[in-house]
């Protein structure tokens, strides 16, 4: 990944977050600071990934360990505020230049869940300093987000019939 790029990993297939994590580890190996902010994710792999600190810093602002869709309306509203705190942290990180690579894991799902609009995500991406790289992951990608990306990778499952 070239410095200063915005990459997107999207699609129905598995491995989008793993690809982003691979870039974060590679950046850390080059002596760069990588931050990962996880959205709409269970706690499953967070503890394992935290072992990469301090070279790769992992943040998750949501309090619940359940999927967002499984929460009742009040719990969802509480989590929306926590998610907004995560987005504000992303803005701070970008404007202060605290990291060289920022991964916004499952951020595209925030648009799908009507937590943010595509324009809000685009405004966050425009805060990027020269030389900073950003990776976005999620299942569905809209045109407005797509046009700000330097590279878009679609991960789709393939099924083969054995004859």
Q: What is the pLDDT of residues 28-75, one digit of tens each?
A: 999 999 999 999 876 666 667 777 888 899 999 988 888 888 889 999
What band does 2 get if pLDDT is binned at 50, 70 and 90? confident
pLDDT for 159? 80
Return phi, psi of residue 36, to 5°.
-120, 125
Fold of 6-154: Rossmann fold (3.40.50)
* This prediction's pTM: 0.91
CB atoms within 10 A of CB 30: 10
Flag whether pLDDT at 158 surpasses 90: no
Distance CA 158, CA 78 (A): 38
pLDDT for 53? 81
Q: Which residue has the higher pLDDT, 48 or 114?
A: 114
Q: Which DSSP category does 100 fall into?
A: S
């Amino acid at each position: 990944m070239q410095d200063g790029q915005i990459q997107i990993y999207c699609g129905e297939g598995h491995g989008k977050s793993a690809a982003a994590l691979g870039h974060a580890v590679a950046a850390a190996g080059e002596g760069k600071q990588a931050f990962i902010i996880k959205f709409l994710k269970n706690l499953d792999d967070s503890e394992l990934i935290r072992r990469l600190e301090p070279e790769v810093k992992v943040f998750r602002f949501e309090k619940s360990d359940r999927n967002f869709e499984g929460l009742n309306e009040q719990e969802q509203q509480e989590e929306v505020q926590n998610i907004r705190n995560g987005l504000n942290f992303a803005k701070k990180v970008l404007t202060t230049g605290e990291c060289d690579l920022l991964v916004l894991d499952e951020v595209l799902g925030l648009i799908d869940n009507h937590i943010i609009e595509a324009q809000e995500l685009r405004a966050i991406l425009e805060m990027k300093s020269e030389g900073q790289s950003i990776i976005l992951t999620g299942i569905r990608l809209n045109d407005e987000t797509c046009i700000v990306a330097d590279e878009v990778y679609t991960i789709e499952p393939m099924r083969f019939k054995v004859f």
